A and B are shown apart, each in its own frame.
Chain A
């Protein structure tokens, strides 16, 4: 692979710095039509790969949402019969009741699918791929081939994970955090048999996919920016994708290490995480292992992972808020600084997931201290988003609604993070529905809102057509209200002491007064889930029948909107535009229009130039 670079360099020796491959592309069009397979399936074009990630992500989101509806049925109506689900769930319905072990499998797979397959691969995979080359002014990723491999490893991983849903012993059931010993011993729960094996294989493939994608994103941002695109002129989207990829590069290998050790424990008889276990009256031979060790390794990935999920959403929301408020983003450098701060802190707070593992209280307070510091960069971001909206000339596009919704959810969920970050409070709230409500708001729903905002906003560039706004509004309000109706009561239930991952609470008298509230949450969750089909219809309908988009429908400043509506491989038909200014010149006093694209030189905007910009004319 590597050797192709220099040979080609010699062939094309004379091409200038700012127009990579222009001559080559023209040559390409003349002589060589791409087959369907090359163009849509095994494509090396970052835009096609992005769409592949997006559509696979949508598929997974439907599965993940369906699973959650199933367990919400169980939680809302624990006494009623589930016989009617037998055609769908088969033997997992026993005498009209959901099998309790299968309930755990549903929870596990819902978490795994949503965190990894939808909000990591579906979110970063889609938008990093789509936007990095377009917004920095590159023709494609540094290595299109590795980028293609990244998708196909994800696809393989998806196939393995999907097939695990249908095997006889059921999919993995030890929670998305797969703590041993439960996940290590097939005799402990049927899901820890073949289902857990497939889970581990699938995740190993997934990690390879993430690393192949991530190294590409980083290299592309570092190396392939167009002329004038300094790091301090990058859109915040790119900063967030860049830092997300760095987090993935540093944390996913650690999950790989942990998974490998778990595989050895499960299948080869080692005892890294197992020690002195009696199961069904029988002592196991494993000695010397430490289950806490797994938690350390897992959360060293697991915590950065939640930022891998949320940071791309933050970047896109910053971009969309500025565009639709027709104002420069407030505190551009503070936004970058806070992203850097969050990235750094994400690696040194992991043990706040483990306050109740019996760790040294002093260590606990160190992790508590570091955890609470995260509130600072997070608050900087929230302040800047609100200040961007303040007195803006707001255009309520669907993407804008979802971005504002993101800010709302991020605040609502972030506040409870301050509570949970306290070691003393966490001892009471650990593993209750309070935690579930917290992370579903701050990272689950928020990241989903970022994902939707991104899809609505960049759909015209992806497919050359617009999504329907009215359907978008209905989708937004259903989802926004739905999410709050689901997760606000859940805090209350959590404070009351409801432990998560329980099949039913009918055995506890104290909890009986909350039965109606649980029913309410279930209704809200299922209605909100069905609301998503409005989006799915809108998405697929608009691909084929949507109103035709113009080149720059949102009057935005970034480079992707300088490309033609019908995008070919290579992105710009002619030269790649050079960049002269930062990406947020909205409503600049004295300017002819309320936005000035990044590729407009100062010499063309003399009426609006600031004193120091006059020197650059």
Chain B
């Protein structure tokens, strides 16, 4: 799969229209399996997903019959009160946890193990502190057996893309939070994942950096267009970035409401425009207020 990714997708990183890469843009990307060639889709299917944690004596149900479908290349943002099982959902999608009942499927097959096709970006960056920026980005490519020449070219391109040229040999500790998260994002995107999972990736950043990172994420994402599941506490962030927003109820988490942002944001989607312009739009504000109302009712119910 690494090979398939390297063959086609990376041309698109130069911010050319994704149309370059027909198979990928239209229906998924091609994987050669021996002589056969199949087309994989990158949609996510959550089917009656239940997740329970056994604590001291008591069993806590984090997610309850969660049903949802994320289309290929769709950008879905999940919001909900603290403890509603958002992170659990993401960890299950990454293959780091398994549901107590129900199924989570990527492209029609049940997710069993973590792997580079399901990249995850964590809130605390989770960079390897003893590896330089360059080796952090290189890690996934190297252990999956990509030849050095190819890797170096890719890494150079991504380091440039996230604006960190000159910092290749710095250690994470020497970078600001925003720079560290850029590295983490590059480390994920360079793998050309089928699905990108983001667990409150910008929550640890200050407001200015957060805004810059949102715009940068859109830029990198639109070149590659993996399917995205993005978790956030920021309703504004959700409305700005999402194709669709899923509001999850308080624990045990269920789908409370799904809102279609594309219907409001227009054909080219407002996330392509500067954040400070978009945030002033009345339709943006209206949607923001609606979602905040939904989330707030869940928080108030709780207390």
Is the A/B pair a real complex? Answer: no
User: Chain A interface (Cβ within 8 Å of chain B)?
Assistant: none
User: Chain B interface (Cβ within 8 Å of chain A)?
Assistant: none
